[in-house]
């Protein structure tokens, strides 16, 4: 009988990408960097997930601060600020995560949640709003990474997520630093 891990390893795999955005000059980015202790070269203040079909799931200030799917072209001008972690995952698990993303797209970005977890550790958590590292971790948990199941999505910063991911053993991981110093 196959174990859970052996069963999933035999399924067709696809590549998903976790896109970590380094500090920009916005007030929000500077505040996140200060409060999360983000330091170069991993001074990440934002994170989004790119599915194997090329669609990126994340925040859009162009769409009233909602969580949406967008083409990679919408963020291409920021490539110099993005470091990427590529993950090989079973297609069926990616589909489960993408299905969840479809259900919550259009949700409001959780600015209060960021403030209540990243700046003042109140543990604020909205079930109908999401911030970047919260939704990215949730989607990765749906994709069945057991090492990430111990984390509470609403308490995870982009830097914390990066650190957790690079410490996972036994996964197919490729880290690309597009513009790191």
Domain boundaries, the chain: 4-177
Residue 166 pLDDT > 80, yes or no?
Answer: yes
Residues listed for the chain: 181
Residue 155 pLDDT > 90, yes or no?
Answer: no
* Mean pLDDT score, 10-22: 88
Pick the CATH number of 4-177 from 2.30.110, 3.30.70, 3.30.750, 3.90.1720: 3.90.1720
Helical pair 158-166 and 27-36, crossing angle rounded to 10 deg: 50
Residue 147 pLDDT > 60, yes or no?
Answer: yes
pLDDT tens digit sequence for 74-126? 888 888 889 899 999 999 999 999 999 999 998 887 666 666 655 556 666 66
pLDDT tens digit sequence for 31-70? 666 666 666 666 888 899 999 999 999 887 665 677 889 9
Taking the model in full, what pTM does it have? 0.80
Higher pLDDT, 63 or 71: 71
What pLDDT score does 180 carry?
A: 46
Over the chain, what HEC string results?
CCCHHHHHHCCCEEEEEEEEEECCCCHHHHHHHHHHCCCCCCCEEEEEEECCCCEEEEEEHHHCCEEEEEEHHHCHHHHHHEEEEEEEEEHHHHHHHHHHHHHHCCCEECHHHHHHHHHCCCCCCCCCEECHHHHHHHHHHHCCCHHHCCCCHHHCCHHHHHHHHHCCCCCCEEEEECCCC
């Amino acid at each position: 009988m196959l174990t859970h891990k052996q069963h999933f390893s035999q399924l067709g795999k696809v590549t998903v990408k976790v896109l970590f955005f380094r500090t920009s000059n916005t007030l929000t980015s500077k505040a996140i960097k200060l409060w999360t202790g983000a330091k170069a070269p991993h001074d990440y203040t934002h994170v989004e997930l790119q599915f194997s079909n090329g669609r990126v799931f994340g925040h859009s200030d162009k769409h009233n601060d909602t969580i949406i799917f967008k083409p990679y072209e919408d963020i291409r001008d920021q490539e110099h600020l993005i470091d990427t972690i590529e993950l090989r995952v079973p297609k069926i698990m990616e589909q489960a995560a993408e299905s969840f993303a479809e259900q919550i797209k259009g949700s409001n970005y959780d600015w209060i949640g960021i403030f209540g977890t990243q700046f003042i550790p109140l543990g604020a958590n909205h079930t109908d709003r999401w911030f970047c590292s919260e939704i990215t971790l949730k989607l990765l948990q749906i994709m069945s990474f057991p090492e990430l199941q111990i984390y509470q999505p609403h308490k995870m910063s982009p830097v914390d997520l990066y650190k957790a991911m690079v410490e996972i053993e036994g996964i197919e991981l490729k880290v690309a630093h597009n513009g790191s110093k």
